[in-house]
Structure 1
């Protein structure tokens, strides 16, 4: 996948320039205000690529802005710059926890559902829509790799029922995909029933990724883009909120039964 090779290229170039400068990871880390272990995690793909880190690396290593330029190349594939660090974390995650109050999570979307969601942004051309759609579908490849991450999703019931007559065909297909995904041993889908009228998750969607070294990174999306969350206190808050919304949701079996019930109610 093109974006994946670009991320790998950035890490490879970072290692090459650091080594050529005769700097250990600890020495380089002090110059860019990161610890040696953080530098190691970036180079190994265990920590997401960060624009500020790469900008400092370009300055310290005298690369003429190459690392940031490579990051911009990845953006040409239709992915906004704010999303690239999260994409890197997502690819290398051992576990993903996602809460969505308004949409089916992107990693579980069908092509038809995803296209409709992306088309809601009327500033995008048809070409840009298809490019973003292709990128979204490509991200789902993490489920087919030899050692896929454990993916836990909590979705509000209203997401399933948001379907007028013209959209029900797409939504029926989408719910069938959710049920199919929920049968995989590494995927858990839990529905928060409409009877739970208020809970802390309603303030917004979020995703958490746990890397191979056990560290967590979060991602928040909003109308203007998104933010990767790495500060320990902020990540701890998101982990706490995850536990709260997860406790409001139905079990896996009950959630699957509810999804089937929604589709049956339309027919």
Structure 2
């Protein structure tokens, strides 16, 4: 896997902790519901690191979540180089702004919605889909941990209305999640209604994060990846465009009402 140094550290720590507990691979395997040969394969790097396996290992070995925490680091290390600065900006942010014209923002996605989005790329394996999904779900802890940032999202109404047959339940679940998130005091979700036909945000999605020192950083996504924006002039443009798209959106109360109507349409 990418982030191999961290992955090797996980395997070494797993073996050290197992031996310290005086457990053979067979004995340990029974406790974590894996065979001894599977435990051996994990320790030797012949089997991918598994989140469920490491969670059970943490419980059995009493590590306080060490192994699963290291796995999260390995998954972050395995992210593309262009994305890592934005992950760091998210973790340090005290304020965040996000505009999305085509999708639910990643920090607000349900697991089912996120998996469906990631699977639209048919060039990646099922295993890679699950790895990317795990990273995305882990990122969401930014909004649920202690001292979360103030997060404001602006989404196009069309995003709530887009679902082919077979995805109605998925969209109902996702919009219900948005409504629940909008009830949190530090999260605001605003919808731009479909009768706003043209505005500057339609050029593409963008996000902004403000750290404790007051400086803003922007992030732009495109088909081949993304780019972090941190020059004063470029950040000023994004902040100006944010004010523009935010002014086109409905109020918090109106947006919540629209989302509730959207849920009804899918159920």
> What's the TM-score, normalizing by structure 1?
0.71
1:103-122 to 2 correspondences below 5 Å: 103-122=103-122
Equivalence for 1:192 = 192
- In 1, distance between residues paired with 2:199 and 2:101? 10
* SS of equivalent residue, structure 2 residue 83: helix
Equivalence for 1:40 = none
Change (3 A) 1:193 1:137: same
Is residue 75–residue 135 contact of structure 2 (8 Å, CA) maintained in 1?
Answer: no
Is residue 169–residue 266 contact of structure 2 (8 Å, CA) maintained in 1?
Answer: no
Is residue 75–residue 81 contact of structure 1 (8 Å, CA) maintained in 2?
Answer: no
* SS of equivalent residue, structure 2 residue 85: helix
Deviation at 1:266, TM superposition (A): 3.1
Aligned length: 197
Equivalence for 1:156 = 156
- In 1, distance between residues paired with 2:165 and 2:122? 22
- In 2, distance between residues paired with 1:76 and 1:86? 11
Equivalence for 1:83 = 83
Deviation at 1:118, TM superposition (A): 0.4
Equivalence for 1:259 = 259
Change (3 A) 1:183 1:78: same
What are the ranges of 5 or more consecutive residues in structure 2 without an aligned counterpart? 7-72
Equivalence for 2:131 = 131
Is residue 102–residue 158 contact of structure 1 (8 Å, CA) maintained in 2?
Answer: yes
> What's the TM-score, normalizing by structure 2?
0.71
1:159-170 to 2 correspondences below 5 Å: 159-170=159-170
Is residue 76–residue 135 contact of structure 2 (8 Å, CA) maintained in 1?
Answer: no
Equivalence for 1:216 = 216
Deviation at 1:247, TM superposition (A): 0.1
What are the ranges of 5 or more consecutive residues in structure 1 without an aligned counterpart? 7-72
Show structure 1 runs of 4+ deviating over 4 A: 73-78
Asked if 1:247 is matched to 2:247, the reply is: yes
Deviation at 1:76, TM superposition (A): 7.2
RMSD of aligned Cα (Å): 1.5
Is residue 100–residue 206 contact of structure 1 (8 Å, CA) maintained in 2?
Answer: yes
- In 2, distance between residues paired with 1:145 and 1:122? 33
Deviation at 1:248, TM superposition (A): 0.1
Deviation at 1:264, TM superposition (A): 1.3
- In 1, distance between residues paired with 2:157 and 2:78? 31
Deviation at 1:77, TM superposition (A): 5.1
